[in-house]
Amino acid sequence: MPTTIKPKLGPKDLGNPKSVTVPDKMDDPAARKVLGRIVGIATGIKTGVGNNGQPYVGLKGSFEAQPADASLPRVRAGVCFLPPGIAEMVATKLAGENAPDSVQMAFDITAVKAANPIGYSYEVMPLIEVSETDPLEQLLALPQLGGAAQITDQSAQSAKPAKKA
């Protein structure tokens, strides 16, 4: 399945969380569905007030939603909305005087049946610790770029003049 580019992504890009509320699952208190994974590098915070009047916290950076359902596309975006509480946890790492320029994150998202007006909630499992990352250092460490190897002029080796016979 190809990757789709969108301006923003969130748990609903992983699949339909309402599937845990269908009639045949209504009597199953353990109804749950693994929706997929959201990974990314957060570089900033986006806040605002939604149409319902509630404040929201989003993350700016580079993110990918990887659905568990292989028939759904992966989604990449520059803004990520996570369930309440989780987004704030990541955002606090980016706030403050000594905050890093970016943090990495990876979460598995599961829809769980709930006794609330929408019938479901999200369960989020961190796969790595939300921690500082330096994308430039990661790029420079790639073997193709020689890691920490000395840069040398290799033109002399490849451009040797032909010997005269």
Q: What is the pLDDT of residue 44?
A: 93
**23 pLDDT above the threshold of 80:** no
Q: What is the pLDDT of residue 97?
A: 85
Residue 145 gets the label, from left (phi > 0), alpha (psi -120 to 50) or beta, of alpha
State the average pLDDT over residues 101-121.
Answer: 90
How much of the chain exceeds pLDDT 90, in percent? 41
**11 pLDDT above the threshold of 70:** yes
**138 pLDDT above the threshold of 80:** no
- Asked if residue 8 lies in contact with residue 80, where contact means CB atoms within 8 angstroms, the answer is yes
Q: What is the pLDDT of residue 10?
A: 93
State the average pLDDT over residues 111-117.
Answer: 87
pLDDT band per the 50, 70, 90 thresholds, residue 139: confident
Among the listed ranges 27-31, 85-89, 123-127, which one has the minimum average pLDDT value? Answer: 27-31
44 Cα distance to chain centroid: 13
Among the listed ranges 36-40, 109-113, 160-164, which one has the minimum average pLDDT value? Answer: 160-164
Sort 162 into a burial class: Cβ within 10 Å, 0-12 / 13-18 / 19+: exposed
Residue 129 corresponds to which tokens in the numbers above? 């610790």
The mean predicted confidence, pLDDT, of the chain is 84
